[in-house]
């Protein structure tokens, strides 16, 4: 038995599971392992320093899997923005099967990807944003609840409500993101109207994830209270692992007159990247979702995907079926 949904059909994958496009984590080693396990692996465009480096990472991924995989392109405002269009052109030129957009309005990029025949996913933290993307013609939506790592938006709507609302309002199939790590979560997402799940933090804690083992062990040791919300005074909320740096940032942010310059040196992206490389979990801020409270081991991607789908199938076939008389 396999769980077949609109997502597995559209993406050409065996299992309705998508790997999150995580900065500094979504690289060829992880994406190929996830795809080889029958889910959809995703490499992160902006992890690569240049568009040409992304081209090489795409080709490296292709050398490691013959299964479908995707590229995440997150479009955010910046004083000196990356060359988003150049990254997008590489994605098109390399004929990547799937592309996921996130961040700002992706209209021009979605049109470009659709014209090239690529399957498009857009990540949204609010149903109204998902409806806008639906009008653009994206193939799949990814709905991020408040539980997610990274940027959950400013509305603080958890998945239990957000996914239910999305099912009422959307015609485009969607996957559920934020707080998913096991078979129970997959079944819950399907019951709420999603066609699959997106997991970021859970895939960070696998053998193939290209980050230091100390970080993975910190996730295993963590519980559901081990994340922190940063940047709330600036209305750019981010959920990260609650380490010494995050606690200090929150302390400074408690000042009603706080300015971003007051925390800038603590939250520099280079520091977070160093944590992944050196294993010093307290050196910089790094993303983690509430799913840390559900993670108890460091399996291979194949072991994880097989476990999640087997547990979900057992719950659907046995536990839930017994309730209907």
Domain boundaries, the chain: 15-211, 227-287
How much is the CA Rg of the chain, to the nearest whole Å?
19
Location of structure tokens 């806008």 = 132
- Model pLDDT for residues 262-316, shown as the tens digit of each residue: 999 999 989 999 999 999 999 999 999 999 999 999 999 999 999 999 999 999 9
- Beta-carbon contacts of 252 under 8 Å, excluding residues fewer than 6 positions away, are 258, 262, 263, 266
> What integer is the mean pLDDT of 39-66?
98
Burial of 13 (0-12, 13-18, 19+ CB in 10 A): buried
Please say whether the beta carbons of 100 and 73 come within 8 A: yes
Mean pLDDT, the chain, as a whole number? 96
Residue 94, pLDDT > 80, answer yes
What is the CA angle 26-158-268, rounded to 5?
40
At 170, is the pLDDT very low, low, confident or very high (cuts 50, 70, 90)? Answer: very high
What is the CA angle 93-97-103, rounded to 5?
85
Could you tell me the sign of the dihedral formed by the alpha carbons of 107, 113, 119, 124, in that order?
negative
What is the CA angle 153-44-170, rounded to 5?
45
Q: Return the pLDDT at 80.
A: 84
At 230, is the pLDDT very low, low, confident or very high (cuts 50, 70, 90)? Answer: very high
Q: Return the pLDDT at 45.
A: 98
Please say whether the beta carbons of 295 and 219 come within 8 A: yes
CA distance 281 to 270: 13
Neighbours of 227 (CB within 10 A): 23
DSSP structure string for 127-157: HHHHHHHHHHT-SEEEEE-TTSSB---SS--
Q: Return the pLDDT at 164.
A: 98
* 3-state secondary structure at position 263: coil
Q: How many residues does the chain have?
A: 325
CATH topology of domain 15-211: TIM Barrel (3.20.20)
**Model's pTM, two decimal places?**
0.96
Q: Return the pLDDT at 104.
A: 85
CA distance 121 to 19: 12
Location of structure tokens 């799937």 = 98
CA distance 322 to 187: 15
> Which of 103-107, 145-149, 185-189, 256-260 shows the lowest mean pLDDT across its residues?
103-107
DSSP structure string for 228-255: EEE-GGGT--EEEE--HHHHHHHHHHTS
């Amino acid at each position: 038995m396999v769980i077949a949904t609109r997502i597995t059909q559209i993406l050409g994958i065996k299992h309705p599971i998508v790997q999150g496009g995580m900065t500094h984590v979504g690289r060829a080693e992880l994406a190929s392992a996830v795809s080889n396990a029958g889910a959809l692996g995703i490499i992160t465009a902006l992890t690569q320093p240049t568009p040409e480096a992304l081209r090489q990472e795409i080709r490296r991924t292709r050398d490691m899997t013959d299964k479908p995989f995707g590229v995440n392109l997150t479009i955010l405002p910046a004083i000196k923005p990356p060359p988003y269009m150049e990254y997008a052109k590489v994605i098109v030129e390399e004929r990547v099967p799937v592309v996921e957009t996130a961040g700002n309005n992706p209209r021009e990029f979605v049109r470009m990807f659709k014209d090239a025949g690529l399957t498009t996913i857009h990540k949204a933290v609010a149903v109204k944003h998902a409806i806008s993307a639906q009008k653009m013609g994206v193939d799949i939506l990814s709905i991020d609840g408040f539980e997610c790592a990274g940027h959950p938006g400013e509305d603080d709507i958890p998945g239990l409500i957000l996914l239910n609302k999305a099912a009422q309002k959307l015609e485009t199939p969607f996957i559920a993101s934020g707080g998913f790590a096991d078979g129970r979560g997959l079944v819950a997402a399907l019951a709420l109207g999603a066609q699959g799940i997106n997991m970021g933090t859970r895939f960070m804690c696998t053998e193939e994830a290209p980050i230091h083992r100390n970080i993975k062990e910190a996730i295993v040791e963590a519980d559901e209270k081990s994340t922190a919300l940063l940047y709330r005074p600036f209305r750019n909320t981010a959920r990260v692992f609650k380490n010494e740096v995050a606690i200090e940032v929150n302390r400074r942010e408690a000042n009603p007159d706080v300015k971003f310059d007051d925390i800038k040196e603590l939250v520099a992206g280079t520091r977070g990247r160093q944590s992944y490389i050196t294993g010093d979990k307290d050196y910089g801020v790094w993303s983690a979702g509430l799913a840390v409270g559900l993670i108890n081991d460091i399996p291979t991607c194949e072991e994880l995907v097989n476990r999640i789908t087997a547990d979900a199938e057992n719950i659907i076939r046995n536990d839930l079926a017994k309730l209907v008389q």
